[in-house]
Amino acid sequence: MNEVTFLQAYGPDAPDLSDEALHAARVRVLAEISAASTAVPHATRSALVSRLGADSRRKLLTRLALPAVGLVAVVATALAVMPDAWQRAPYPPVTADGPSGTRSAAPGRIKLVAATAPEFPYALPNLGKPSFTADPGGPIIAVYPAPDGSDVVLTIGTARGDQPIRGERDISVDGRPGRILSMPGDGLGSVGSVQLTWERRPGEWVTIVGNGRRASVESVLQLARQVVDQPQRLAFKVTVGLVPDGWGLGGFKDGGSIISYRDPANSDLDLHVRWTPEPDTSPDSDIEGFQTAHAVTVNKRPARLVRAEQFWRLTATLADGSGFTLMAPRSFTRDQVIAVANSVQLNRS
């Protein structure tokens, strides 16, 4: 392939990547990130994550330009920023009501309803208790860690897209259609991960990834046959009882110290709840776009409500003395922000 052909296929003017390609890369990347942040010893962390420095992980790439499975490494740099940023940010991300930060919805148009407790529908009972993570706007991912780094990832899959993924091949799982992809390891010619996506039931696709010693076709097929329908409640630090009608879980940090809910019709509209061991007492003047601050009451305890140019920010104390920060779009009314805050409770489970 000469340089001109390469640029036409993978350069800035190349066709957009399919949802399937992005999903495959996202699953691999989030598996690696989650493995690096769970109880797996530091020495067994993925070489891919180790090679990505802190500065590199924070850079969002708007274009991917590598063929074959090199795509995964590039998407890693693009997607790793979200879990990493959530883990280190002193506050939840700033919430704006539109691309320019201006209000796109009039206050009062949002209707609050009881939130459904988030669950993951599947389980691998023989692998113990998983940890959970979710890329903002992406599916919930269960990670079953192993001491030697041979983690297993389980998540909701997608049907085959219009653009095939290079190296992916068809496979049958007990007579059901599927596709499998082997991804390179650190050593020359080695396999680091094997990803299997199959139609478990008509219209129901599931993805499983085996790493390390489980990175083989035989291993992932065996694991696929062990998947059972077993809804698992996500154990967040706090629960949110009220969310806007139609909004769904947008993402969370492992352990549930940060939770977001998002409007599926407008990805710029979301709310965030961040749990902290102690209440946030930072000055109101530190808040970007600060306008006004008011003392309010949340669950019979003093709280602070700040109105900024692009969002509301409420800080409150929980029953055990810990705290939380709620950030919501300006399209919420003042009373709606307080109502959501009143619905935030410690998770006793």
Kindly list the averaged pLDDT for each block of 10 residues, start to end, along the chain of length 349. 47 52 52 42 28 27 24 28 33 42 52 91 94 82 94 92 83 95 86 95 96 95 96 89 93 81 88 94 91 96 96 96 96 96 88
Q: Flag whether 321 is in a domain.
A: yes
What is the residue range of 313's domain?
234-346
For residues 126 and 225, membership in a common domain is answered with yes
Domain boundary among 163, 198, 233: 233
Sign (positive/negative) of CA torsion 315, 318, 323, 329?
negative
Question: Tell me, what's the pLDDT at 306?
Answer: 97
Give the CATH number of the domain where residue 254 resides.
Answer: 3.40.1000.10
Q: Flag whether 96 is in a domain.
A: no
For 154, the token pair is: 């389980």
Q: Flag whether 226 is in a domain.
A: yes
Question: Tell me, what's the pLDDT at 206?
Answer: 97
For residues 254 and 322, membership in a common domain is answered with yes
| Entry pTM | 0.63
Whole-angstrom Cα distance, residue 98 to residue 223?
43
For residues 241 and 339, membership in a common domain is answered with yes
For residues 283 and 339, membership in a common domain is answered with yes
316 close to 328: Cβ distance less than 8 angstroms: no
Whole-angstrom Cα distance, residue 96 to residue 281?
23
For residues 125 and 68, membership in a common domain is answered with no
Question: Tell me, what's the pLDDT at 102?
Answer: 37
For residues 217 and 189, membership in a common domain is answered with yes
CA triple 287-290-281, angle to 5 deg: 40
Domain boundary among 201, 218, 233: 233
> Up-side HSE of residue 2: CA atoms within 13 Å toward CB?
1
Question: Tell me, what's the pLDDT at 122?
Answer: 96
Quick one: which of 68, 54, 72, 83 has its CA closest to 211? Answer: 72
Question: Tell me, what's the pLDDT at 256?
Answer: 76
For residues 267 and 164, membership in a common domain is answered with no
Question: Tell me, what's the pLDDT at 105?
Answer: 45
Query: Any bridge partners for residue 263, and if so which?
Result: 266
Q: Flag whether 114 is in a domain.
A: no
- What Å distances lie between residue 67 and 17, 71, 116, CA to CA? 11, 6, 41
Give the CATH number of the domain where residue 183 resides.
Answer: 3.40.1000
- Containing H/E element for 39? none
Q: Flag whether 301 is in a domain.
A: yes
For 28, the token pair is: 């691999």
For residues 333 and 238, membership in a common domain is answered with yes
Q: How far is CA 39 from the centre of its chain?
A: 19
CB-based contacts of 24, cutoff 8 Å, min separation 6: 72, 165, 168, 181, 195, 197, 207
Quick one: which of 318, 226, 327 has its CA closest to 277? Answer: 318
Q: Flag whether 109 is in a domain.
A: no
Question: Tell me, what's the pLDDT at 190?
Answer: 85
CA triple 72-76-82, angle to 5 deg: 145
Rg of the Cα atoms in the chain: 22
Q: How far is CA 76 from the centre of its chain?
A: 13
For residues 261 and 330, membership in a common domain is answered with yes
- Strands 228-233 and 119-123 come out as antiparallel
Domain boundary among 205, 233, 261: 233
Q: Flag whether 101 is in a domain.
A: no
For residues 150 and 208, membership in a common domain is answered with yes
Query: Any bridge partners for residue 303, and if so which?
Result: 296
Whole-angstrom Cα distance, residue 143 to residue 123?
10
- Containing H/E element for 292? strand 290-298
For residues 58 and 21, membership in a common domain is answered with yes
Query: What amino acid is encoded at 323 in this protein?
Result: G
How many domains are there within the chain? 3
Question: Tell me, what's the pLDDT at 349?
Answer: 65
- What Å distances lie between residue 49 and 36, 55, 140, 254, CA to CA? 8, 12, 20, 17
DSSP letter (8 states) at residue 209? E
For residues 266 and 222, membership in a common domain is answered with no
Q: Flag whether 108 is in a domain.
A: no
